[in-house]
Structure formats: C-alpha cells, structure tokens
Structure 1
C-alpha cells in the first residue's frame, strides 16, 4: 500500500524586499502572537473582503460588484492588527476598507501545511492505494442497520470508501429497496440509461454483456459517459451455488502508478491516447447511443490519477487516432490489463452483502457461473455520484465538530 501524495513545494518565508517587485506577490504580513505568522496576497484579501458591500453572509459567498470592474493594481495603503480582538484592518488604494478575523484568516492561511490540511480534511481524504495482496488488510465491513441509523457509522463508511475505494456492507435485508435507502442516507441515486437501479442476472439475448453468465472481465462501469457514475453499489440477493460468480477487484490507480514507475512510456501512451468508448442498445422502450472519447488513465492538474476508463466490450471498433498510435496503445494496454489481473483480489459475496466501490478508480469483474433454474445469481445495482458522497462527508464532519 502507498499513499497518493499531493505534490507541493517546501514553504519558504516570503522576501518582502525583493529587487523586482513585479516578479513577486505583494504580500500582507499578519503577525500572530499565538501561532506562526501568516502571509496573504493583497489582491486575494481585496477579493475576499467580508463587508456587506462585498460579501453576502446567508449564501457564504462574495457579491459580484467588485468583479464588474476589477482593478488588479489595487494596493494596501495602511494595515494594522488588533492583537486583543485578533482582527486585521486594511485600507485600500481604491478607497475601500476591510477587516478580517484571525480565525477566518487562519482557516485560509497559504502555508503548505494549512493547504494540505484543508485538502485532506475538508476537500477530499488522501487516497491509499493497494495491491490485491493487501485486500484483506484494507477490507472493512460495515453493517446495514448501523449505516441507516447512525451518522457516525455512515461517516466511517464513506470515509473508508473515499480513502481505499472499497467497503463491504453486511447483513442487508433481501429486499428491493436496500440500495435506495442507503443512497437516501447519502443523498440520492444517480440515474443512467439503465434507470436508477439495475438488475444483474443472466438473461437470454441480453443487450448488455453484464447480463450474461459468461466471465465478466475487469472493467469500469459506463466509461462511455462523460459524467461517469462515481460509486457503484451491488446488493447480492441470490448467489450462484456453482464455483463461479467470484468477484474480481483491483485498484487501477495502484496499477497506473506501477506503470508510471516501471513503464513510463506506456504510462504516457495510456494517459494521452484518446479511446472511443460506446454503448449502443436499448433498455425497455429507451434506445441509446452513448459515446465518450477519453484515455484509459486520466490525470488531474497535479498529475494524479483521477479516472480510469476500461471496458473491453464497450470499447468501440472506431479508434479515432493516427495509425502510428494504434500498436503502441495495444502494447501499453496489454501491460495494464496484465498488471490489473496480477494485482486483483478474489472473493465471493453472499446474500445480504452490498459491495460498494469507487467506479472511477477500481476495475471489477467476476468469473463465469452455471445458470440454471435452480442455480440463480441475482445482483441489484445502483450508483451514487462522488460529489454527493463528499458533500455528505463534509456535512457529517462539520456536525461532529460542533458536538
């Protein structure tokens, strides 16, 4: 296991008397007798003035008037600190005056340590990546009734899901509304072309590969959607008594980081080659033709993995790239798939289990199974978006801090 670290530079105290002022941020020094001093860019302070002309308390947001004619040359004329009340006062070159409580400034301090604290505690927990051999160590069980009735348990489940990308819920009733009740505890379900909930069991003549009893290779759900569903929830209602139907699960971010380290050129290929993902068919009366072009490995602005796209049945035969990029992509993809299988975990759910995992990060599949009248495998599935999960986590965290 290893932690997905955010890249940052070491913090250096600003040099306020640099020879080329235009090359340096204009910083306001705020001495704090109780903690380390703080430094803030002057234009950021002006943008975030908290007076009634600039800020609307009931919406916790700035008013747009300043931005209708933003003067980026605005300067601090005078500033002072009330050490007793712990307030910073500023008079501006545009005639405006502002004041900022130390408590508010401290939450927004630009020091690397504070930025990291905010990103880790409020924005999103840092992810810990894992190999298949680590699965039993990171696997954590939560219980359905506790999640429904206890906010502390709910917070722990969502936090674990955010950090490790997978969590198992046990002892759920064998009822059709289990996923809806769990989703409502978080926020609400994500609707797709297959509805809000989908039933996975063998269907003759199925239009979706998941509805066959054949082996289901490792994949992410719905890579053909630009707005990919974030969290997959699979509730086992009936499980095949045959040796098959075994779940396969791998942390594809772990695999991607291995490729970045061991096979950097193939990693680059999977990050930069757009692939055509498609889903053409119907569900009930709804006909659809979904297409999304994106690489297998998607990185954020800091170079960290943010989304994996992979599904063999739903990769289109259209490949809209120059011909010289085709073979290198196949070679890189063969490495990716091989590593994903090598570092996957295997387990079999039982009736009442709800497997929950990060669909942007993990690839999942299952082995084939015998499908007969007396040997049925029935899984009910649903999605929640990560935006909703993170929002609920922050609300639960804030409520905990107030108690």
Structure 2
C-alpha cells in the first residue's frame, strides 16, 4: 500500500505533468511545444511526418521506419496539432487524414537545439588533445585482466582510447594470443595484408621498415588504406635490453591544431593537397603480393570540421606526387613545419614485457628508437588492429545496453 506522503507526491507530479506542454503549428512548417518552465521545443513538420511512430509507418521490433518515399512527406502538411497531457504525447493530424503521436521523452531526446549533447554523449566522446608537457596527466593505465573480465573497466579503457588517444595495459601474460583476446573482447580483429596478427621484430630480408633495428620515424600505420586501421594493439613479449627500443609518440591532432593556429596557410595546404601513399610487396612467406594505393591529405577533417585522420608515413609516401606542379614546393614547406612541430612534441617511453600499448592509429604519430639485437638480446612485439566502427559500437552497447533507436 502506498504511504500518504508518496501518494500526495504522485498526485502532485501528475498535476505538474498535465501542465507540462502546449503545442501550436507555425506556418504549417514547424510544430512548437512550450513546456511549463517556458522552454520551447521546435520541430519541422516534414521531419515529424518522416519519423511517424505509428504501426503503419514504423516497425518497432527493429526500430526502423517502413520506408516508402512515395507517400511524399514533403507534400503532406500538418493540419492541426495538440498536446495530450494525460498521455504526454504530441498529436498531429495531417491533411491526408493520417494521425501521428510522439512521446514527449522521445521528442526531448531529439531536440534540434540540443543536438551537440547527443553527438558528445552517444555519437563520439569529445577528444582531449595534449602536448608533450601534458602527456603524463593524460596517461591512462589499466590491468590487462580487469579489461578482459570487467565490463566497467573495458568501458573506461575504450573511453580513454577515444578521448586521450592511447592507453597502457599492464600484466599481460607471455602469450602470443593476448592481442587477439583484446581485439575479440572489443569485437572483431581487422585483417590486413600483414595478416590478422603480426609480429614486430628484426627479420632478415625484411618486407617492412618496422622489421629493421633502425630508428622508426614518427608515422601512422597504413595511410595507403582507404579504410585505415583504427587502433593498434602492441603487446611487448620481449623487450630489448639495449639502450634503444623505446616507443615515441605525438598527438597528431594536437599538432594539426597547433599548425592551424600558428601557421594557417600551411594548415590549409596539408588539409587540401592529396598525397599518394603506397605499399607494394609481400610479407614474409605470403604467396600473394599486394599493391596498395590511396590518395589523401596529411590532415583530414570530418563533416563537422573536426580532426578525423592524420596520414603520415615517410617510408610509404610515394615519389609520384599527383598534384599540380605549382603546389609542390609550398606543400614541402608546410610538411616540414608539421614534422618539426611533431618531433618537438614527441614523448618517449619504454614498455616492459607484459605491457600492451594501445593507441588511435588515425590520430597518434608513433615510432621507435633504434636498438640492437643479438641471440641473447631480442625485441619481440605482437600486434593487431581493430576498426573504430567496432570500438564505438562496443562503447555504445556498454553505455546504453537498452538502446533501441
């Protein structure tokens, strides 16, 4: 039985709800809801008709509209609108005698004025760019076993990768399957011309510059792929005891932003001039050769003008530069400034056996200092890739397990 206090509280809430909103039609093009606190929600009529939630227009089991554009939402106008206080729904009567109803909560979640909140909370968490001096404050560290066993820690790890661009895991076993286990914990491993799992160690007749003991300059992996690998998972099995073999890394988005602020003309060149990236050859005993090519600028932006991808790999930048002759010299000047800034902001650290270094391959420039191998002193890393589509999907299923639409 409800207590008296609880019953009074519920009645009061119902009374408030009944006064929650009023609706009106604006020039038959917009519907406006005014809430009790004076705040207003405004929606285009065509959008409301396109997103009608009735069984004739929407299949709830799969959260999809029954698309049939011939019904012409552009040509069907709203005739009357009202707000049903009892049901907390907006009711729209259309000129073709169709009726639509929309729950207030559903409308509030799709408020056009608050679209950035959705983009930040659901689409992608905002990135935090960092400089060399801010590296330590932005370093996130996790226990390997916790990431594998606890969904809450998995969520924290993936958010760190999305926001900071990198993270370190400790305590991984001496097992070549660690990177596969982490990739499959997220979703699916990415298969490339180098296989699904690859090894980074010195090799005779190396088919990739990374397999040499020489310094590995700052770069991103696979700029020659249109669908470039999202994150790089690198597990240190054996670390060189020589002075070298340290990881180097720079936040490429921070460098792009610094260039944008301090050298806008250079930024525009690196944002707009496409570069030919290539990879030709075969890896180890692979029987099928590969010939990968992709043209894209150093700095790539998304549809919102945000940093989306950095392409930089000196060893994989083609000598064929398919741009107008007059752009070449200016581009090299801009590229030189970008690399100066990147090298000045590079951090250096050395992983130990059992560490897993994971980073955003679309964002982070990474490299390695030179090292010496001998029969008694080996450096052996195992790596794998996962695409960001898979990572963001996992993030959302962890954050919103009951989401439908």
**Of the two, which has the highest radius of gyration?**
2
Tell me the residue number matched to 1:281.
281
Separation (CA, whole Å) in 1 of partners of 2:38 and 2:282: 62
| Aligned with residue 334 of structure 1, among 322, 336, 348 | 336
Distance of 2:70 and 2:168 partners within structure 1:
50
Give the one of 32, 51, 58 matched to 2:54: 51
Check if 1:173 corresponds to 2:173. yes
Deviation at 1:255? 0.3
Secondary structure of the structure 2 residue equivalent to 1:173: coil
Question: Match for residue 384 of structure 1?
Answer: 386
1:193 and 1:286 in contact (8 A); partners too: no
2:338, 2:318 → 1: CA distance? 18
CA shift at 1:205, angstroms?
A: 1.2
* Partner residue in 1 for 2:217: 217
Residue aligned with 2:191, SS: coil
Deviates more, 1:71-80 or 1:389-398: 71-80
Shift of 1:398: 1.2
Q: Does 1:37 align with 2:36?
A: no
Aligned to 2:97: 95
Counterpart for residue 193 of structure 2: 193
1:3 alignment counterpart? none
Distance 1:74 1:42 in 2: 9
Assess if the C-alpha contact under 8 Å between 2:57 and 2:65 holds in 1. yes
Q: Distance in 1 between matches of 2:304 and 2:402?
A: 31
RMSD: 1.7
Moved over 6 A (4+): none
CA contact 2:50–2:73 (8 Å) conserved in 1: no
**Does 2:300 correspond to 1:298?**
yes
Deviation readout 1:181-232 (Å, 9 max, x if unpaired): 1111110101101110100000121010001010000000000000001011
Aligned partners of 1:174 and 1:70: how far apart in 2?
A: 62
Normalised TM-score (structure 2): 0.91
**How far apart are the structure 2 equivalents of 1:35 and 1:257?**
40
* Structure 1 unaligned regions, length at least 5: 1-15
Gapped runs of 5+ residues in structure 2?
1-24
The aligned residue for residue 241 of structure 2 is 241
Given the superposition, is the C-alpha separation of residues 278 and 183 from structure 1 closer, same or farther in structure 2, using an over 3 Å criterion? same
Indicate if the aligned counterparts of 2:49 and 2:73 stay in contact, CA closer than 8 A: no
SS of match in other structure, 1:324? helix
| Mapping for residues 81-160 of structure 1, pairs under 5 Å | 81-111=83-113, 114-160=114-160
The 5 Å alignment of 1:363-382 reads 363-382=365-384
Match of 2:258 in 1: 258
In structure 2, C-alpha distance between the alignment counterparts of 1:274 and 1:69, rounded to whole Å: 43
CA contact (8 A) 2:46 2:73 kept: no
User: What does residue 75 of structure 2 align with?
Assistant: 73
In 2: Cα distance, 1:328 partner to 1:131 partner? 26
